[in-house]
Structure 1
């Protein structure tokens, strides 16, 4: 059974912004793309670099180090040099609370 844990509130992640959290020792990045909340690993799969320093472009996340973009729905890299999927996690929003599951 999927276990969701509260990690933030909608007040923490305004539309067009990102917010870093830690869940069970794992660094997770929340992204609010036009009102939809996504959760993924915080570190780029190409090189250890924080994606929180990147930029949201629609429902994609762009790493500011080498320019690779990742689809926030699937984690798939859309540009080189990244060629490994970014881990994405299930999200649910209840009222103002954001919950993430790591499985």
Structure 2
């Protein structure tokens, strides 16, 4: 995982619910694998506002909602859509290989 561009198998595609999320760990990094509108995303599993697991929140229309205070994050960019969160969370590169979901911790956004 320390080498740039390295992908790690994190789960089977069938483990990720439709319009839902699955919390996994890539090394020591908590990552939410999210399926929304037919696409699969990888986003930090820790809310930038309250440090709770985003994978426990609702997924809808390309966003994931923090279950604690209701901030929604765009799955493509990690940017918050509404308060109280004001900082983006990292998003990661996802690759589907057959039925395997692979993630690279090289972030796509700052």
1:12 corresponds to which residue? 15
- The answer on whether the counterparts of 2:16 and 2:34 sit within 8 Å (CA) in structure 1 is yes
- The answer on whether the counterparts of 2:21 and 2:56 sit within 8 Å (CA) in structure 1 is no
The normalised TM-score by structure 1 is 0.95
Q: Does 1:21 align with 2:24?
A: yes
Q: Does 1:95 align with 2:98?
A: yes
Offset at residue 65 of structure 1 (A) = 1.0
Q: Which sections of structure 2, spanning at least 5 residues, go unmatched?
A: none
Q: Which sections of structure 1, spanning at least 5 residues, go unmatched?
A: none
Mapped partners of 2:59, 2:25: distance in 1: 20
4+ aligned runs moved over 2 Å, structure 1: none
Count of residues paired in the alignment:
103
Structure 1, 7-16 or 85-94: larger mean CA deviation: 7-16
Q: CA RMSD in A?
A: 1.0
2:75 corresponds to which residue? 72
Mapped partners of 1:30, 1:7: distance in 2: 9
